[in-house]
């Protein structure tokens, strides 16, 4: 049988081996802490020489420290990188701009494995004769993220595949990575002491363990394919369990372009695509009881020749309990009806706000909620509406009140993230969405 083509990855400073053992990963985290300590000492000495009193938060966020943190977490991948991604999306408005920039970069950056390490991982999953399973395998990744990287391949039967390869050691080191990363974050003082990281840590731990379970992800992919069978607006890759050992996930390769290319499409095409994605989110919440919760733009792809949206990455799929769905339904209906008492009751029930807040704090939160729901009274033009800026300004005002610093329960975090991600995508594409028509089914 012809050996598959193994194309070398061209040299790039972003091609770096993943630390594969717990000891190696601990060493990377320890090296980061040591490097930061050196930066702090140097920065403190310079401040004292200028007659200034050094401040820890300013020293830890110096340009050199920022670069050191981003580079090391990006190289480690796995739990440390995922925690940074989650923090950037859940607590960004409460963090210093420099730290927000670090975490935002972690949403988009990850080093890739060099060919030698990739070959070792493939042999560990498929055996020493793995080449017999493929007519071709491109070692140049299509994408890289916190858990693994994706490669194109051709199966022995000629099927075009996309194969997600899990980084070595990532799954086994999830808990220790998270503990070490959280300890470093607390030690550095980068996060306000009043902000409880407990729920965020629990969310990151659960999400990492689920995303590292490729058999679970394959099953979720198959479930979504069945749920969307007959809806020709969407394409879900076909799961290949026969080529999906524990550390690899094989699926059909679905040719498509980045969803951002829709920004250049005619307005009616942009509007239909974004409306379809928002409707899908509502169906996931209220009908399916199952939601793909990662709003990364890379998880949506566009097929211009058919006008279809390709859905990718089902590792962050979550079951939606009846209580969570009903709570959001109550919130939506109360908000659309301008029922402030109903909105407050729903927000408290979902854990978005703590019961017993002072009247002025309740009023501030309800004013912000009313601002958001008012935008849904008619078609919303995401290209021109200034709602994000108004909400951000109001959110910053609320965020200045320490009594209101609060991270919602883990079960609501992922849903909040999904909705916020779709809003950002709609704004990026400049779409107009007819919300009264879209929400009529559930309102």
Q: Whole-angstrom Cα distance, residue 249 to residue 354?
A: 41
Taking a C-beta distance cutoff of 8 angstroms, is the pair 158, 233 a contact? no
* Helices vs. strands in the chain: H and E counts, helices first: 16, 14
Q: Whole-angstrom Cα distance, residue 229 to residue 401?
A: 48
What DSSP state is assigned to residue 163? Answer: E
In sign, the C-alpha dihedral spanning 257, 258, 259, 261 is: negative
Q: Which residues have CB under 8 Å from 302's CB, separation 6+?
A: 256, 257, 258, 259, 261, 262, 273, 308, 309, 310
Q: Whole-angstrom Cα distance, residue 392 to residue 399?
A: 10
Q: Which residues have CB under 8 Å from 28's CB, separation 6+?
A: 19, 72, 75, 76
Which residue bears the tokens 């969407």?
234
Q: Whole-angstrom Cα distance, residue 105 to residue 99?
A: 10
Q: How far, in Å, are 120, 338, 367, 408 from residue 335 at the CA level?
A: 54, 5, 11, 19
* Phi and psi angles of residue 128, each rounded to the nearest 5 degrees, phi first: -60, -25
Pick the catalytic residue: 177, 294, 313, 330?
294
Q: Is 377 among the catalytic positions?
A: no
Q: How far, in Å, are 1, 137, 320, 443 from residue 134 at the CA level?
A: 10, 7, 38, 50
Tell which residue, 264, 284, 270, has the closest CA to residue 426.
270
Taking a C-beta distance cutoff of 8 angstroms, is the pair 180, 166 a contact? no
Taking a C-beta distance cutoff of 8 angstroms, is the pair 199, 411 a contact? no
Q: Report strand pairing: 308-311 vs 300-303.
A: antiparallel
SS3 content of the chain, % helix, strand, coil (to 5): 55, 15, 30
Tell which residue, 244, 200, 223, 218, has the closest CA to residue 90.
200
Classify residue 286 by burial, with Cβ atoms within 10 Å: 0-12, 13-18, 19+.
middle
Taking a C-beta distance cutoff of 8 angstroms, is the pair 95, 66 a contact? no
- The residues assigned a catalytic role are 294
């Amino acid at each position: 049988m012809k050996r598959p083509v193994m194309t070398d990855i061209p040299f790039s400073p972003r091609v770096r081996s993943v630390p594969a053992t717990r000891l190696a990963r601990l060493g990377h985290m320890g090296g980061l802490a040591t490097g930061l300590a050196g930066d702090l000492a140097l920065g403190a000495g310079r401040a004292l020489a200028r007659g200034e009193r050094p401040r820890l938060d300013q020293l830890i966020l110096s340009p050199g420290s920022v670069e050191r943190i981003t580079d090391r977490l990006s190289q480690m991948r796995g739990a440390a990188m995922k925690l940074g991604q989650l923090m950037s999306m859940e607590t960004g408005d409460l963090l210093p701009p420099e730290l927000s920039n670090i975490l935002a970069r972690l949403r988009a950056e990850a080093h890739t494995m060099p060919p030698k390490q990739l070959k070792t991982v493939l042999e560990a999953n498929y055996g020493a004769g793995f080449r017999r399973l493929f007519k071709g395998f491109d070692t140049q990744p299509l994408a890289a993220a916190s858990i693994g990287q994706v490669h194109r391949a051709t199966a022995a039967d000629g099927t075009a595949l996309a194969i997600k390869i899990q980084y070595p050691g990532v799954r086994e080191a999830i808990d220790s990575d998270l503990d070490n990363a959280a300890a470093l974050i607390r030690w550095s003082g980068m996060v306000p002491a009043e902000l409880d990281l407990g729920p965020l840590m629990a969310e990151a731990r659960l999400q990492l363990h689920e995303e590292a379970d490729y058999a679970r992800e394959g099953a979720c992919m198959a479930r979504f394919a069945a749920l969307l069978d007959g809806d020709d607006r969407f394409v879900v890759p076909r799961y290949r369990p026969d080529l999906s050992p524990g550390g690899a996930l094989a699926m059909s390769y679905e040719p498509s372009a980045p969803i951002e290319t829709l920004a250049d499409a005619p307005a009616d095409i942009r509007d239909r695509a974004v409306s379809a994605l928002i409707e899908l989110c509502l169906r996931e919440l209220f009908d399916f009881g199952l939601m793909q919760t990662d709003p990364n733009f890379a998880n949506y792809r566009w097929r211009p020749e058919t006008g279809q949206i390709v859905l990718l990455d089902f590792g962050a799929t979550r079951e939606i309990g009846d209580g969570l769905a009903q709570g959001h339904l109550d919130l939506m209906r109360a908000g659309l009806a301008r029922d402030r008492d109903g909105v407050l009751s729903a927000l408290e029930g979902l854990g978005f706000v703590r019961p017993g807040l002072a009247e002025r704090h309740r009023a501030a939160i309800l004013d912000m909620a009313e601002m958001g729901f008012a935008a849904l009274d008619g078609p919303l033009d995401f290209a021109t509406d200034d709602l994000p800026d108004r909400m951000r300004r109001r959110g910053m005002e609320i965020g200045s009140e320490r009594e209101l610093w609060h991270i919602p329960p883990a079960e609501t975090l992922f849903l909040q993230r999904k909705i916020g991600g779709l809003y950002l995508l709609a704004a990026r594409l400049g779409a107009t969405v007819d919300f009264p028509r879209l929400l009529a089914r559930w309102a």
